[in-house]
Amino acid sequence: MKIYYTCDCCGEAFDVLEVENIDENKLGFDCLNSDERRDILKYDALTNSLKVLSLCDACIEELGLADENTTINYGFVH
């Protein structure tokens, strides 16, 4: 099964994973609540693929969401 990580902002598929089985723990889906699952995970039975709505790097930067992470990263470096 293919997992497409699709940007919720610009609609680009920025990452594709090919997996035998959906391992929710490994993919981090187990920490999503049911509302988040409904919003983020879109199963497409037609193509047997899973679309995961997320944000690509470009949009994270554009939305100014990168700042916080940058600070945290710097924290680790120093």
- Residue 16's DSSP bridge partners are 4
Task: Report the residue from 3, 50, 52, 56 that binds Zn ion according to the rule CB under 5 A.
Answer: 56
The one segment of 7-15, 34-42, 44-52, 65-73 that binds Zn ion by CB under 5 A: 7-15
Task: Report the residue from 1, 9, 32, 66 that binds Zn ion according to the rule CB under 5 A.
Answer: 9
Specify the residue for token string 């919003």. Answer: 39
Residues 6+ apart with CB under 8 A from 55: 7, 8, 9, 63, 65
Query: Which pair of tokens denotes residue 24?
Result: 């929710």
Nearer to Zn ion, 6 or 50 (CB): 6
Please give the residue ranges that form the binding site for Zn ion (CB under 5 A). Answer: 7, 9-10, 56, 59
